[in-house]
Structure 1
Amino acid sequence: MFRYIVRRLLQMVLAFFGTTLIVYALMFAGQNDPIQALAGERPVTPAQRAYLTEKFHLDKTGVDGFFYRYFDYIKNLLQGDLGESLTGRSIGDILSAAWPVTAKLALIAIGVAVIFGVSAGVIAGMRRGSIFDNSTLVLTLLVLGVPTIVLAPLAQYLFGVKWQWFPATAGSDPSFYALLLPGIVLGSLSLATALRLTRTSVAESLRADYVRTAKSKGLKHRRIISVHVLRNSLIPVITFLGVELGNLMSGAIITEGVFNIPGVGFNLFRGIQTEDGPLVVGLVSVLVIIYLISNLIVDILYAVLDPRIRYE
């Protein structure tokens, strides 16, 4: 296990540098004039342009200039300095203000997927072909067929504006209740996928030889389900939820934009709009680290759920 973790950590380092290099290249290579894009239609004085050009090393052009800025950014990042956005605000301060909001939103979404999706998937798998099973399959198909860009405004209008069950927008300092509706919207796609994945996995496990052997030994049905079926069925579900948690932590740009949530996705989208390269790269770098760590935790959990799995 120790050798496996060390090997995965080395792979994570390579993946981190490769991802940040690609994002850095895409963000800065496609910029025409980031300073003017940030200012919009307002004129930029020569003094302001000279200051920002020197501060962000924009005067260095070509391939050499690109790699100079990239390695300078990596050096500061390894020292815990995410740098500053083109507005002059510390990216660390932006992230510290946005991160708790996105974390709450992601936890609500993953909680909805686990509580309702996995539970319903277990019941549907155990009662395959029943009315409940067929109903959940139809509902999940409907949810998966509707994109978030349609589902989020529709839920906002129905539950926030028309019926007023939830706040229509979250605001600058959203409470748990204000994040509940966008969290449900964000977790609906994960819920549908987790339900279908759990249902298929449970149904396959119930037909396995070890389940028939356990039944022939006279074990109680509850013990067969809880110890044998669920433990093996949850392995692919844990894989999905681990990857999905990293995706949810990425900020859910559409959901945060529709419900006016000042989270990571909202700031990331704003940085892309204004061509604020340092802000976009800084946020993406932190999200890549979270995504890699969540995948490592999922791999380690494999051995906990299934003793047959050993990493040599």
Structure 2
Amino acid sequence: MFRYIVRRLLQMVLAFFGTTLIVYALMFAGQGDPIQALAGERPVSAAQRAYLTEKFHLDQHGVGGFFYRYADYVTNLLRGDLGESLTGRKIGDILAQAWPVTAKLALIGLLVAIIIGVTCGVVAGIRRGGVFDNATLVLTLLVLGVPTIVLAPLAQYLLGVKLSLFPPTAGADPSLYALLLPGIVLGCLSLATALRLTRTSVAENLRSDYVRTAKAKGLPTRRVVGVHVLRNSLIPVITFLGVELGNLMGGAIITEGVFNIPGVGFNLFRAIRTEDGPLVVGLVSVLVVVYLVSNLVVDVLYAVLDPRIRYE
């Protein structure tokens, strides 16, 4: 197990630098005039343009200029410095403010997927073909068919404005209650997928030979399902939820925009719109680390859930 973790960590290092290189290349290739994009319609003086051009090495052109800027970014990154955005703010300070908000939002979405999705999936798998199974099938297909860009404003209008059950917007310093509705909206797609995945896995394991053997030995149904079936059925669900955690952290752009949440997704969208390359690369770098670590944790959990899985 130790050698496997070390090998995975080395692979994570390569994946991290490869991903940041690609993101940096995309920002470098598609960059127009980031200084003017940052200023909007306001004029930029020659002194301001010269200062920002020299500070962010925007005068370096071509392939050589790209690798020079990327090497400078990696050097600062290895020192723990994410650099500064084009607005002059430190990216580390922006992350320090945005990260806790997005982490709470993603955690709410993940809990919704686990508590509701997995529980309903187990019940639907046990009672496959019944009324509950068919009802959840229709509801999950409906949720999967509605994109977040439609679901978020719809939930905001019905539950936030009309019924006043939740705050319509989160604001600059959102409380946990204010993040509850956007967290539920964010976790709806994960909930639907987790429910169908759990249902399929439970229904398949209930038809396995070891279940028939356990029942033949006289074990109660509650123990067969709760210990044997559920443990084996959770392996694909854990895989999905581990990958989904990274997706929830980075995929909250629409939800944070609709509910006015100053999180990572909100700042990432604003950085892309203003062509703030350093901020985009810095935020994506952190999201890549979260995604890689969550995948490593999932792989280690395999051996915990199923003793037959061993890493040599």
Give the TM-score band, short-chain normalised: over 0.9
CA distance, structure 2, for counterparts of residue 289 and residue 260 of structure 1: 25
2:138 & 2:5 partners in 1: Cα distance?
Answer: 41
Kept in 2: contact 1:251–1:264 (CA 8 A): no
Which residue is equivalent to 2:202? 202
Q: 5+ unaligned residues in a row in structure 1: which ranges?
A: none
Displaced runs of 4 or more, over 4 A: none
Counterpart mapping for 1:12-51 below 5 A: 12-51=12-51
Task: Determine helix, strand or coil for the equivalent of 2:169.
Answer: coil
> How far did residue 58 of structure 1 move?
0.9
Within 5 Å, give how 1:229-268 maps onto structure 2.
Answer: 229-268=229-268
2:9 aligned residue: 9
Calculate the TM-score normalised by the size of structure 1: 0.99
Name the SS of the counterpart of 2:239 in structure 1: helix
Letter in 1 for 2:4: Y
Please tell me whether residue 280 in structure 1 is matched to residue 302 in structure 2. Answer: no
In 2, Cα distance between the equivalents of 1:149 and 1:20? 28
Counting only pairs closer than 5 Å after superposition, residues 1-312 of structure 1 correspond to structure 2 as 1-312=1-312
Give deviations 1:169-196, integer Å, cap 9, x for gaps.
Answer: 0000001110000000000000000000
Q: CA deviation at 1:223?
A: 1.2
Offset at 1:226? 1.4
Give the secondary-structure state (helix, strand or coil) at the position aligned to 1:295.
helix
Tell me, in whole angstroms, the C-alpha distance in 2 between the residues paired with 1:257 and 1:311: 42
When the two chains are superposed, the root-mean-square deviation of aligned CA atoms in Å is: 0.7
**Partners in 1 of 2:249 and 2:219 — Cα distance?**
42
Q: Deviations over 1:93-121 (max 9, x none)?
A: 00000001001100100000000000000
Cα offset, 1:4, TM superposition: 0.9
User: Residue 127 of structure 1 aligns to which amino acid in structure 2?
Assistant: R
Between the two proteins, the alignment pairs up a number of residues equal to: 312
Question: How far, CA to CA, are the matches of 1:236 and 1:72 in structure 2?
Answer: 41
Q: TM-score with structure 2 length normalisation?
A: 0.99
Shift of 1:34: 0.8
Letter in 2 for 1:32: G
Deviation at residue 29 of structure 1 after TM alignment: 1.2
Letter in 1 for 2:44: V
The separation in 1 between residues aligned to 2:75 and 2:291, in whole angstroms, is 21
C-alpha deviation, 1:218, in angstroms:
1.1
Cα displacement (A) at 1:251: 5.0
Counterpart code for 1:70: Y
1:135-174 CA distances to partner (integer Å, 9 max, x unpaired)? 0000000000000000001001111111111110000000
Q: Output the amino acid matched with 1:87.
A: T
Unaligned runs of 5+ in 2: none
SS at match of 2:92: helix
Q: What per-residue deviation string (whole Å, max 9, x for no partner) do you get for residues 251-299 of structure 1?
A: 5100000000000000000000000000000000000001000000000
